[in-house]
Amino acid sequence: MTKTIAILPGDGIGPEIVAEAIKVLDKLWTSFGLDVQLEQGLVGGAAIDATGHPLPIETLELVKKANAVLLGAVGGPKWEPLDIAIRPEKGLLGLRSELKLFANLRPAILFPELANASTLKPEIVEGLDILIVRELTGGIYFGQPRGIRILDNGESQGVNTLVYNESEIERIARVAFESAEKRQKRLCSVDKANVLEATELWREIVTRVGKDYPNVQLTHMYVDNAAMQLVRAPKQFDVIVTTNMFGDILSDLASQLTGSIGMLPSASLDANNKGMYEPIHGSAPDIAGQNIANPLATILSIAMMLRYSLNKPKLATIVENAVSQVLREGLRTKDIQQKGTETISTREMGDAVVAALSQ
Ligand code: IPM
Ligand code: MG
């Protein structure tokens, strides 16, 4: 049966990189028999401009009926003056919570060809293959109460709440343990249990769930130490599971280990593996519209979509191999540029991946 993919290009470089991912989907359709139908929708600043709301009802209906969602990026300086409740980011957070996408998988894999593109020494990052499992629909991003209020003495006060229920911790822990079972069987749970009660509970529940996965070696680490260890000796990690905000921060950090934030895909999954797929980088307004952004994170997000939501693992590998091949050929967008390699545009990179798929 034909599967529907909702395409939400969003803002900044979103439309440019998504256009390249669509070329890849088209190629998979024409040459590899992938039976999908693409339907475009508005989200983020683009949706605010057109409808006044970052997540219009039409988009919500579209993503709810789709089998998977591809998202570019949201946000930009143009919408920063708006009230936080209707900023572009609310569109993304609304998608995550409306679709109950509680499990965010962010793999940080170093392509061997990019060992020199990282700011860390090649021997520190060579062979790096980490999976960050970030809780995505809870924690301080969604906790109540929140807001900015005026106190009796006239002073303003900003409030956010870090809150986790046992069931929320348990379900993300299970996703992480199951991922670890398929990999090196090592799971590091990252928290701040020495200070924050919400993550003291996190540690307790993850430890309890771990009893069901005796083959997985579970360790715990405080987030400050984890940040240091990630740049000191990143290869000690296999799978990391952590809260929404810690995962946000650590995944940006991990991306730099791989050479560029322009290389990292992500999958956000619900309990039934319906998913939204997006590069982890943002909308990069500073380079938007210049045809220089790296589309590979978005193309690799398509590979994750094929694997997790469309049940086409072979096609996923084909796409990943095509990305490896263009890197092997020395093709580089500006962000991963190295001495002696040619710098190509966003569109040329997309075309190169499509050409590699044909071989
Ligand atoms: C990410 C982004 C988002 C987040 C922003 C754009 C709301 O940084 O996906 O990592 O904080 O989750
Ligand atoms: Mg982030």
What is the mean pLDDT of the segment spanning 318-339?
Answer: 93
92 lines ligand 1 (CB under 6 A): yes
CATH node for 1-110+261-359 = 3.40.718.10
| Residue corresponding to tokens 């590899």 | 32
Q: Where in the chain is the domain with CATH 3.40.718.10?
A: 1-110+261-359
Q: Where in the chain is the domain with CATH 3.40.50.2300?
A: 137-257
Residue 141 a catalytic site member: yes
Q: Mutate which of 43, 69, 84, 89 to test ligand 1's pocket (most atoms within 8 Å of Cβ)?
A: 89
Q: Using H for helix, E for strand and C for coil, what is the string for 11-54?
A: CCCHHHHHHHHHHHHHHHHHHHCCCEEEEECCCCHHHHHHHCCC
- Best CA proximity match to 262, nearest among 208, 336, 313: 336
Atom of ligand 1 nearest to the CA of 252: 10
State the pLDDT at residue 341: 74
Region 208-213 average pLDDT: 98
To the nearest whole percent, how much of the chain has pLDDT over 90? Answer: 92
| Contacts for 114 with CB less than 8 Å, ≥ 6 apart | 258, 259, 260, 263, 327, 336
Check pLDDT > 80 for residue 342: no
pLDDT score recorded for residue 338: 78
User: Tens of pLDDT along 147-166?
Assistant: 999 999 999 999 999 999 99
Residue 340 has pLDDT above 80, yes or no: no
Distance 296 CA to ligand 2 centre (A): 17
Pairwise pLDDT comparison (336 vs 232), residue with the higher score: 232
- Burial class of residue 85 in the structure, from the number of CB atoms within 10 Å of its CB (0-12 exposed, 13-18 middle, 19+ buried): exposed
Q: Which whole number is the average pLDDT over 287-301?
A: 97
State mean pLDDT over 175-187: 98
Is there a catalytic annotation at residue 334?
no
| Mean pLDDT score, 186-207 | 98
42 Cα: distance to centroid of ligand 1 (angstroms): 18
* Average pLDDT taken over every residue of the chain: 96
Residue of 252, 270, 334, 351 with catalytic role = 252
**E strands along 49-169, which residues?**
68-73, 103-109, 129-135, 147-150, 156-159
What is the distance, to the nearest Å, from the Cα of residue 261 to the centroid of all Cα atoms in its chain? 10
What is the topology classification, in CATH, of domain 137-257? Rossmann fold (3.40.50)
Q: Whose CA is nearest to atom 11 of ligand 1?
A: 248
Task: Tell how far the Cα of 282 is from the centroid of ligand 2, in angstroms.
Answer: 7
Q: What is the dihedral of CA 190, 195, 199, 205, to 10 degrees?
A: 100
Residue 339 pLDDT exceeds 80? no
Q: Is the CB of 94 under 6 A from ligand 1?
A: no
pTM of the predicted protein model: 0.95
pLDDT confidence of residue 116: 84
End-to-end CA distance of the chain: 27
**Is the four-CA dihedral 14, 281, 218, 102 of positive or negative sign?**
negative
pLDDT at 218: 98
